[in-house]
Amino acid sequence: MVLEERTAQPPNANGVNDKEQGKSGNSYRYWVRETKQDAAPLPVPRKLTDHEKDLLNSTNAHTGNHLGSSWNKAGTWEEKNLNKWANDRLKELLISLGSLEFTDGRAEISEVSRCVGDAYLVTVRNKKLVGYTFELSLKVTGDWTVNGEQKSLKGHIDVAEFSFGELDDLQPSR
């Protein structure tokens, strides 16, 4: 019986000696392997010329134009609540429509009795996106010609939900 003489190998950073690591082929340092003859040479640091410095500074000045908050230079997700402004503006615009003329009469929005919803401005990847979802209830007055007779009417319009991108799908119902 032949006994192999084993020499103690000091463990590396992983606690495994180099012989054992070579057998398994697993190494956290595989990318640091010895360079070969045909490998590209390692980059050598050098100082920038004045022209290169100017180009670099002008490029950095242009990238300073970002959207959103000053803390969000990368332009990642940032959301701004616009609920109060949007509610007030929506009421103002609906009332300012005035009288709408039709072939058989006219109608106007006399009051916005309910305006509830959310509006927000999102900045993501240096782009601004607007989103909103609202519920409306409008009081309407007007004059209508029915069988040749002029009649005054009052009513209300309930919009259960309208949101960004869905106004084209809006269908009136009774």
Nearest to 156 by CA among 117, 90, 110: 110
Alpha-carbon distance of 37 to 59, in angstroms, equals 38
Q: Which residue ranges form the domains of the chain, and what is each CATH number?
A: 18-62 (no CATH), 78-169 (3.15.10.20)
Residue 115 is inside which H or E element, if any? strand 105-124
Structure tokens at 121: 């401005």
pLDDT band at 135; cut points 50, 70, 90 = very high
pLDDT digits (tens, 9 = 90+) for 18-67: 555 555 555 555 555 666 677 777 888 999 899 988 888 876 655 556 66
